[in-house]
Chain A
Amino acid sequence: MSNVHRLRELLGIEADQAAMREQGRRVAESQQRMPDVAEVLPDAIRQRSHDDDMAEALREPVSKALHESVTENPHSLVEILFPVMGPAIRRSIAETLRAALEGLNQSLADGFSLRNLRWRLEAWRTGVPFREVVLRHTMTYRVAEALLINKENGLLVCRVGEMTDSPGMDRDAVAAMLTAIEDFVADSTGEEEGELSSAELGDRVLWVLTGPHARLALVLEGQPPLTLRITLRDHLAVIHQDHGTYLHEFSGDEEAPAPLIAKLEKLLAFSAQDQQEAKRRPPRIAGPILLLLLLAGLGAAGHWFYRAHEAKQQWLALEATIATVPGVVWVEGLLDRQPPELKLLADPLADSPSELVRGAGYADGEVQLSVTPFVSAEPQIELRRFVRALAPLPPGVAVNLQAGSIVVSGRADRYWYRQLAAHLEFARINVPVDISGLTQIDDGSVSPEAADEER
């Protein structure tokens, strides 16, 4: 080894040069390998497309690339996703609406009217779902005219429907003016894309829906439901999906392709309640029937209220009657039960509770009567109890109730007199007894027991 070579080795020049040669070789090789790799790369990816490792490896770079692409040019992504996202969102809304319609369907199914029955018959006859028949008959609008306008140049791509407003009005001018107004709105609001959503044209409504390459302007008569916009947007998305390139490159061609015109003509089918049909409709008979039903309902309600009032009055009368009857106490009355329930306390010597209820106009069993016996201390009952205990009363004796006291008067034989005295001494009487008007006579009478002993 020469000194120069050793010096180069000591300085590390040899090693550096070797490393550089190695790097150069690798670069050259990678340049050479690139076409080979490019050739097999699609097949390699395809081959391992079901491999989780491949998906894992691609996830981050693809995500990053997508993120940067969206950040730099969101508009292109919007255009790409427009045909996809629009229907997805609208489908979700449509599902919600469908649920609401199902509820409507149920309500209608529960309802009854001649019209309802007629629609049911129509649904059955035509095989169309009932809710669609109802919607067809109840929505009052129609698409009178539809214009498809190129978004870039404002030129009319095609139009269908009748010429609304003045027939001489040039639709190309209308299309251009709508475009100018939308540009004006966008400029005024500072939005990148203005959208003239709707405008009123006398008794008509103008709706404008904007897609990536074209605007759809519709002249509607009547009162279109807002849900129609969802359907129309779907339609516009389909038009863009099928004719996007044509619309993008449109420069005032003589006539639009027939399939595009056919799609636009379908919009005219979004109408309901044919005016002629409405005029031909036979005189309604459901109205008087409904009126009769309403009157019948009112009559039934009135009758029910009257009956309820009458029952209440009858019940109150019974309560008032019982309040005046000695020896009977009203404990609880439940008129709202079926049958009404009545709980009473009644002295055995009082008037019969069943008779009292019957006397108030109730038939047997019409009131569920529950009677609990008790001993009443009311003067009338005390009087009855007094008379019953000393019965039979001698012919010349009278027992009355005067000012809350039992008054015994007349002439009584000795035996009965002693019996009275014993009763007064031992029986519990809750009212004063006045016998000052009673005279004892000695007529030789004996008690029945003494007569038996003598025999």
Chain B
Amino acid sequence: MKSVKVCILGDFAVGKTSLVRRFVDEAFSERYLTTVGVKIDTKTVHLNDSGPIKLVLWDVAGADELSALQTSYVRGSAGFILVCDLTRRETLTTATKLKSEVAAQFGPVPWCLLANKSDLAQEREIDDMALTELAEDGWNVHATSAKTGFNVETAILALASRLAAASGRSP
């Protein structure tokens, strides 16, 4: 079975770990995240067109920019998932910044943006219009909710399909 490394990046407290927890059966304690700055999980997904693929998910500790250590964590990723918090506009700015940093350092790789906490509709600072604009700019944007599980699997499976298609390319 083919394995691919996928990094999850985003600002502090946007729900990266919750999204991963929702998606996978956990293998490691979350203490690793605070100690080493990354938490590893794996999930095998079965894609209709290309069979099973194993995602090795590197949940990188939240940051508004990539440190040297986080850059080393991202190295070798086949793709990455950006996460922002719909209730905090600045997290979208951070996601944009992180996307530019990764692209600058590792070149173009498949990626997507998960706009998390869609269940908190009353507190949203990023509306659907903004997400639509991003999509029009070529971003793969998915509104998700780690709390309810809304769209989480769909979004990640979509990225997995693109990774399977782009098999063999790495940053």
Contact of A184 among B3, B36, B41 (CB under 8 A): B36
Q: Please give, as numbers and ranges, the residues of chain A lying within 8 Å of B69 by CB-CB distance.
A: 183-184, 187
- Give the complex CA separation of A176 and B2 in angstroms: 15
Contact of B37 among A150, A170, A184 (CB under 8 A): A184
Please determine whether A173 and B36 come into contact, CB atoms closer than 8 angstroms. no
Q: Please give, as numbers and ranges, the residues of chain A lying within 8 Å of B2 by CB-CB distance.
A: 252-254
Known: A155-B3, A176-B40. 11 other contacts (CB 8 A): A153-B76, A169-B27, A173-B42, A176-B58, A180-B36, A180-B73, A181-B36, A183-B69, A183-B72, A184-B38, A252-B3
Contact of B170 among A153, A169, A176, A184 (CB under 8 A): A153
- Give the complex CA separation of A173 and B25 in angstroms: 12
Q: List 21 A-B contacts (CB under 8 A).
A: A152-B75, A152-B76, A153-B5, A153-B77, A154-B76, A156-B3, A169-B27, A170-B42, A172-B42, A173-B28, A176-B40, A183-B73, A184-B38, A184-B69, A251-B167, A251-B168, A251-B169, A251-B170, A252-B2, A252-B3, A252-B5
Cβ contacts B39-80/A at 8 Å (1 or 0 each): 011100000000000101010000000001100110111100
Does residue B4 face the partner (Cβ distance < 8 Å to A)? yes
- Give the complex CA separation of A176 and B58 in angstroms: 8
Please report whether the interface of chain A is mostly helix, strand, loop or mixed according to DSSP: mixed
Does residue A186 face the partner (Cβ distance < 8 Å to B)? yes
Q: Please give, as numbers and ranges, the residues of chain B lying within 8 Å of A155 by CB-CB distance.
A: 3-5, 56, 76
Which residues of chain A in 151-189 are interfacial with respect to chain B, using CB atoms and an 8 Å cutoff?
152-156, 169-170, 172-173, 176-177, 180-181, 183-184, 186-187
- Give the complex CA separation of A170 and B170 in angstroms: 23
- Give the complex CA separation of A152 and B36 in angstroms: 18
Q: How far is the CB of B162 from chain A (nearest CB, A)?
A: 15
Does residue B1 face the partner (Cβ distance < 8 Å to A)? yes
Q: Please give, as numbers and ranges, the residues of chain A lying within 8 Å of B139 by CB-CB distance.
A: none
Q: Select from chain B the residue with minimum beta-carbon distance to A153.
A: B76
- Give the complex CA separation of A177 and B68 in angstroms: 17
- Give the complex CA separation of A153 and B28 in angstroms: 19
Cβ contacts B148-171/A at 8 Å (1 or 0 each): 000000000000000000011110
Chain B interfacial residues counted at CB < 8 A? 29
Q: Interface on B for A, CB 8 Å cutoff?
A: 1-5, 27-28, 32, 36-38, 40-42, 54, 56, 58, 68-69, 72-73, 75-78, 167-170
Q: Please give, as numbers and ranges, the residues of chain B lying within 8 Å of A181 by CB-CB distance.
A: 36
Q: Please give, as numbers and ranges, the residues of chain B lying within 8 Å of A169 by CB-CB distance.
A: 27
A interface, size bucket: 20 to 34
Q: Please give, as numbers and ranges, the residues of chain A lying within 8 Å of B42 by CB-CB distance.
A: 170, 172-173, 176
Q: How far is the CB of A71 from chain B (nearest CB, A)?
A: 24
Which residues of chain A in 180-200 are interfacial with respect to chain B, using CB atoms and an 8 Å cutoff?
180-181, 183-184, 186-187
Q: Please give, as numbers and ranges, the residues of chain B lying within 8 Å of A150 by CB-CB distance.
A: 76
Q: Please give, as numbers and ranges, the residues of chain A lying within 8 Å of B75 by CB-CB distance.
A: 152-153
Q: Please give, as numbers and ranges, the residues of chain A lying within 8 Å of B169 by CB-CB distance.
A: 251
Please determine whether A172 and B76 come into contact, CB atoms closer than 8 angstroms. no
Q: Select from chain B the residue with minimum beta-carbon distance to A254.
A: B2
Q: How far is the CB of A419 from chain B (nearest CB, A)?
A: 123
> Which 4 residue pairs spanning A and B have beta carbons closest together?
A153-B76, A252-B3, A187-B69, A152-B76
Please determine whether A172 and B72 come into contact, CB atoms closer than 8 angstroms. no
Q: Select from chain B the residue with minimum beta-carbon distance to A157.
A: B3
Q: Select from chain A the residue with minimum beta-carbon distance to B52.
A: A254
Please determine whether B78 and A251 come into contact, CB atoms closer than 8 angstroms. yes
Please determine whether A172 and B38 come into contact, CB atoms closer than 8 angstroms. no
Q: Please give, as numbers and ranges, the residues of chain B lying within 8 Å of A254 by CB-CB distance.
A: 1-2
Please determine whether A173 and B5 come into contact, CB atoms closer than 8 angstroms. no
Q: How far is the CB of B29 from chain A (nearest CB, A)?
A: 11
Q: Please give, as numbers and ranges, the residues of chain A lying within 8 Å of B32 by CB-CB distance.
A: 177
